[in-house]
């Protein structure tokens, strides 16, 4: 079949809302686009373990410690499903990790901010996982089968993460004046970076046109950001806290909130590697990869021995 026919068939399949599977023909740019997005997503899950892992030893009770430990383990699992989905497009895990470790691949901007207090763990679960779910619900219907299927399971777990974060905030916001102030401080620091998670504004998003045409994304960055604000503001009110945005206002006509301008200069600075924790996060990840070399070697040696026995 010639190239034009192949591309027409591919687009017709997408238009019928059929999934693309690993062995199906796909344009090279679709493959590249997805490897970029899925691997960035996988890296975000893995790097996302660092700011939360920072609080496992300091969680305020045994129950909180167990829940946080389980959450961080879930993030590792999400990273693994996503690396597997990316590998199904013909790239190796080693290449993907190398791109992360050398700073060629991005991961979510949000994980370059520090978790300074216990209530930051509440804010991360509530706002960061909340923003992640808002984006990921549509990805359950993304056009690439292995990515869509990974997202179904990830979304279930992220919903639990969001609830546990909200519950931490609820306890603090209804607690002593000091606890409430701590919760407000976390909201002040995490609100705007959470809005940045959805990516640049639509008129400044170079990847969106192809992503929408190929049904990788089904909604735009701005649509999802707006929905997140609409959903989260009532939760802030329920907690008795204040959104750190003087321009936030209900707009009856659009049945949603108007809100202030995201600080895009800060966003681009963070994704270029100059956020508060970029260097710390990357060097922790590179170090843990080096420290884990013996585990990979042992696993490979074990697998090789098992294969030899099976072949004999």
Question: Which residues bind to ligand BYC, rule: CB under 6 A?
Answer: 36-37, 40-41, 44-45, 48, 75, 106, 108-109, 128-129, 132, 135, 196-200, 205-208, 211, 221, 271
Question: Cα–Cα distance between 77 and 74 in angstroms, integer?
Answer: 5
Nearer to ligand BYC, 146 or 200 (CB): 200
The residues that bridge with 249 in the sheet, in sequence order, are: 258
Beta carbon of residue 105, minimum distance to ligand BYC (angstroms, whole number)? 8
H-only helix segments in the chain: 3-15, 28-47, 49-53, 62-87, 93-101, 118-123, 129-139, 145-173, 177-196, 208-213, 221-239, 264-269, 278-291, 293-311
CB of 44 to ligand BYC, least distance (A): 4
Give the CB-nearest residue to ligand BYC: 48
Hey, what are 15's tokens? 């238009």
Considering the complex, state which of residue 177 and residue 206 has its C-beta at the smaller distance from ligand BYC: 206
CB-nearer residue toward ligand BYC: 6 or 76:
76
CA distance 255 to 132: 23
Token pair belonging to 207: 């990847």
Q: Least Å distance between CB 164 and ligand BYC?
A: 12
Taking the complex as a whole, how short is the minimal distance between the CB of residue 4 and ligand BYC, in angstroms?
A: 26
Alpha carbon 152 to its chain's center = 14
CB 131, min distance to ligand BYC, A? 7
Q: Which is nearer to ligand BYC, 26 or 68 (CB)?
A: 68
Are the CB atoms for 241 and 189 separated by under 8 Å? no
Closest CB to ligand BYC among residues 182, 216: 216
d(CA 211, CA 95): 23
């Amino acid at each position: 079949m010639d190239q034009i026919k192949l591309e027409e068939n591919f687009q017709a399949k997408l238009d019928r809302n059929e999934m693309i599977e690993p062995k199906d023909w796909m344009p090279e740019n679709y493959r590249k686009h997805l490897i970029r997005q899925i691997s960035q997503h996988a890296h975000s899950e893995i790097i996302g373990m660092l700011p939360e892992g920072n609080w496992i030893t300091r969680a305020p009770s045994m129950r909180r410690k167990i829940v946080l430990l389980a959450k961080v383990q879930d993030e590792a699992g999400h990273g693994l499903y996503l690396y597997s989905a990316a590998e199904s497009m013909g790239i190796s895990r080693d290449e993907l990790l190398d791109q992360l470790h050398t700073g060629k691949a991005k991961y979510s901007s949000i994980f370059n901010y520090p978790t300074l207090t216990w209530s930051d763990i509440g804010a991360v679960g509530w706002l960061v996982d909340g923003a992640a779910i808002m984006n990921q619900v549509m990805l359950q219907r993304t056009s690439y089968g292995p990515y869509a299927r990974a997202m179904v399971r990830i979304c279930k777990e992220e919903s639990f993460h969001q609830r546990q974060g909200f519950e931490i905030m609820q306890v603090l916001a209804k607690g002593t004046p000091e606890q409430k102030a701590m919760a407000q401080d976390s909201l002040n620091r995490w609100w705007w970076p959470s809005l940045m998670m959805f990516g640049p504004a639509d008129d400044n998003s170079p990847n969106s046109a192809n992503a929408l045409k190929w049904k990788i994304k089904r909604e735009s960055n701005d649509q999802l950001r707006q929905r997140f604000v609409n959903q989260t503001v009532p939760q802030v009110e329920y907690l008795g806290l204040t959104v750190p945005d003087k321009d936030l206002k209900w707009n009856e006509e659009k049945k949603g909130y108007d809100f202030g301008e995201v600080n895009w200069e800060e966003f681009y600075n963070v994704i270029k590697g100059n956020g508060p924790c970029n260097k710390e996060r990357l060097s922790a990840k590179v170090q843990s990869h080096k420290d884990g070399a013996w585990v990979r070697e042992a696993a490979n040696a074990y697998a090789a021995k098992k294969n030899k026995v099976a072949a004999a």
